[in-house]
Amino acid sequence: CVFENRQAPTQVTHVWKRNGRVVSRVELEVGKSPKWRTWSRQRLKPSWTGEWTCEVESKKGRTLGVATVSAGS
């Protein structure tokens, strides 16, 4: 994720979901910067096929963005 944050440092959360169910939540720092980059990842077991989404939430719970991928056959 790339953020433009000219305010005080804050946090965002990556909410990883498999087939619509939350698998993990990763809290990430976003510093004061014209271009702050951060990332997370979700390791998959071979049996964890299906649709995956990573929702980016603000500190107040607002959805800032969503990425979707399919895993497996």
Half-sphere exposure of 30 (CA within 13 A, CB side): 25
What is residue 68's predicted lDDT score, i.e. its pLDDT?
95
Q: What is the pTM of this model?
A: 0.90
Residue 46: count of CB within 10 angstroms of its CB: 7
34: left (phi over 0), alpha (psi -120 to 50) or beta: alpha
pLDDT in tens, 20-58: 999 999 999 999 999 999 999 999 999 999 999 999 999
